[in-house]
Structure 1
Amino acid sequence: MMNALVLQSDFGLEDGAVSAMKGVAYSVSKIIPIYDNTHGIPPFHIWEASYRLWQTISYWPEETVFVSVVDPGVGSNRKSVVARTHHNRYIVTPDNGTLTLIHEKVGISEVREIDENHNRLPQSHASDTFHGRDVYAYTGAKLASGVISFHEVGERQNLDEIVTIPFQKPVIESDKITGMIDIHDVRFGNVWTNISRELFSALYVECGDQVQVTIQHGDRNIYRQSITFARSFAAIPVGEPVVYINSLGYLAIAMNQGSFAKTYQIGSGENWRIDISVS
């Protein structure tokens, strides 16, 4: 049976890198269905690669194969792997932290290291700088099209050895929740946190109430302000910030018809902490 192949990378679409990956996949099977998750991940931003996988993976059918290539260590001794989740979706990726949120929030049943003697584009061994094309797209296409089974990817690996990125897990103390800014809703400049709706509900905040928001980058205070909590952007005046629950069920901050992230120079990732407390 033919399964979907979903690609993501930090390659952008300005040159032929993504097209080359798709060409390799079609060389394995001319009827393989190929889709793009995103190719707009900032260069070398492994955390964002991890998040974009977690953001979307549960909406794809079982047996879907994801290829994720954000690989600043290409050509080094980092492993190339395929992970199978608890719900039987597959991720082909460098083992460099990309699997962090899948491991934490979805669950990984098994990981196999790619055997490049059998699962690498023929005649490509002279190059060590484009594994996205030569190893990951090729192996992903073979797996999605049924040319190989998961067991034929390579040797099974110890799950305890998966490389993960340390990050601030949300915690609540009295009337304050501390979490991190996971990611941006890029086009609109909203910032998304890892504070769940359920955890936030412990503060007993109602729509229209004010909450105190403090954002830190490392040891620096970047933002501190009281913001209205509301169901959507239209509940507050244009140009004003709002705290809301995003489409994944997590706390987020937006600016009505503006970019909160750009206005206040807010980034994302494991070094961006956020505190939410009752005003």
Structure 2
Amino acid sequence: MSKHLVLQTDFGLSDGAVSAMYGVALSVDPTIRVFDLTHDIPQYNIWEASYRLYQTIPYWPEDSVFVSVVDPGVGTERLSIVAKTADNHYLITPDNGTLTHIKQHIGITEARIIDERINRLPNSGESYTFHGRDVYAYTGARLASGVINFEEVGPLHDIEQIIQLEKREASINDGTLIGNIDILDVRFGNLWTNIDRELFIESGIEYGDSLEVTIENNRRHIYKNIMKFGRSFADSRLGEPLLFVNSLDKLGVAINQGSFAKAYHIETGANWKISIRKATNLIYC
């Protein structure tokens, strides 16, 4: 029985690129089940590709095969690899930082470099700009359908050499929680931080507490205000900000029925820092 094949790209769906990847997979095995994680990763945004895999992979059955193509270095000497995770999933991607969150939070037990002499779409050897179709979808389908096993992907790759993006860990400093804005809940504009619920509780904060929240980008203050920590959006009034625990058990920041990201022009990544502490009598507007 074929395993699941799950595709993620920054291609969008306005042309035939994703459909071509589907076609390649089905040409390998017409019975293969192909699914979309997302094709709306912002162009070239390796950080977001890394996070979306981390957000999604734990909820798929073991042995599912994921193909992630956010590849600004396509056609260069960057490696194409397949990584096996600690919970027995397979990730096919350029070695460009896409595996950052998976390696740090889930774990990678083995990695292999794709041998394109074997694992490349026939008659595609002169094309160097669509590895998503010619190498990744093809190899992913062969692995998911059992045409090849993991060892037949290619030679071993040292796990310690897998490229990682800069990623800071959340911490507590003198009663202040310090973390990063890891990603956006895109449709609703909520901010998802890297601050775990356990760390939040360790700081002594409880539901209903008023908290001073500061957001900076490269030490430039973007936002500073007081908001409450609530169990759900019902704990705030329409248009009010609040802190909450999101679906990944991490701290989120939102505006009730509004987009926090759009309202304050917030983006994501290692340069976006958030600080949280119990509020004093000061009120920021």
TM-score scaled by length of structure 2: 0.97
- 2:51 aligns with 51
Aligned length: 279
* Counterpart mapping for 1:218-237 below 5 A: 218-237=218-237
Q: Could you say what secondary structure the match of 1:58 adopts?
A: helix
Letter in 2 for 1:67: V
Match of 2:41 in 1: 41
Q: Residue 282 of structure 2 corresponds to which residue in structure 1?
A: none
Give the superposition deviation at 1:174: 2.1
Instruction: Report matched runs for 1:1-279 at 5 Å.
Output: 1-279=1-279
Q: What is the Cα deviation at residue 219 of structure 1? A: 2.3
Distance 1:212 1:143 in 2: 50
On the 8 A contact 1:68/1:93 being kept in 2, the answer is: yes
Q: Is the 8 A contact 2:172 2:203 kept in 1?
A: no
Give the whole-Å Cα distance in 2 for the aligned partners of 1:220 and 1:173. Answer: 20
Alpha-carbon distance in structure 2 between the residues aligned to 1:228 and 1:278? 10
Whole-Å separation in 1 of the counterparts to 2:14 and 2:103: 32
SS, match of residue 258 in structure 1: coil
Cα-Cα RMSD: 0.7
* Amino acid in structure 2 at the alignment position of 1:193: T
CA distance in 1, matches of 2:152, 2:70: 24
Once residues 86 and 44 of structure 1 are traced to their aligned partners in structure 2, the CA distance between those partners, rounded to angstroms, is: 27
> Is the 8 Å Cα contact of residues 86 and 107 (structure 1) preserved in structure 2?
yes
Contact 1:75 1:129 in 2 (8 A): yes
Give me the whole-angstrom Cα distance separating, in 1, the residues matched to 2:125 and 2:102. Answer: 30
Would you say the 8 A contact 1:99–1:164 is kept in 2? yes
C-alpha deviation, 1:34, in angstroms: 0.4
Q: Residue 46 of structure 2 contacts residue 97 of structure 2 at CA under 8 Å; is this kept in 1? A: yes
Q: 1:23-58 CA distances to partner (integer Å, 9 max, x unpaired)? A: 000010000000000011000000000000000101
- Is contact 1:239–1:257 with CA below 8 Å preserved after alignment? yes
In structure 2, distance between residues paired with 1:29 and 1:124: 19
TM-score (norm 1): 0.99
**Does the CA contact (< 8 Å) of 1:192 and 1:252 recur in 2?**
yes
Alpha-carbon distance between aligned partners in 2 of 1:9 and 1:221, rounded to the nearest angstrom: 33
Q: After superposition, what is the alpha-carbon deviation per residue over 1:218-241, rounded to whole angstroms, capped at 9, x for unaligned? A: 121111111111011121111111
Q: Which runs of 4+ in 1 moved over 2 A?
A: none
Q: Render the CA deviation track for 1:60-113: whole Å, top value 9, x for unaligned.
A: 011000000000000001000000001110000000000001000000000000
CA distance in 2, matches of 1:149, 1:178: 43
AA at the equivalent of 1:88 = N
Contact 1:216 1:222 in 2 (8 A): yes
Distance in 2 (CA, whole Å) between partners of 1:45 and 1:254 is: 23
Task: Indicate the larger mover: 198-207 or 246-255.
Answer: 198-207
One-letter amino acid matched to 1:32: I
**Conserved 8 A contact 1:168-1:273:** no
Give the SS at the match of 2:102. helix
Q: SS at the partner of 1:244?
A: strand
Please list every run of 5 or more consecutive structure 2 residues that lacks an aligned counterpart in the other structure: 280-285
- Tell me, in whole angstroms, the C-alpha distance in 1 between the residues paired with 2:255 and 2:233: 7
Offset at 1:203?
Answer: 2.0
Shift in Å at residue 212 of structure 1? 1.0
Contact 1:51 1:101 in 2 (8 A): yes
- Name the CA distance, whole Å, in 2 between partners of 1:194 and 1:212: 17
Distance 2:51 2:185 in 1: 12
- Counterpart of 2:59 in 1: which secondary structure? coil
SS in 1 for 2:35: strand
In structure 2, what residue type is equivalent to 1:42? P
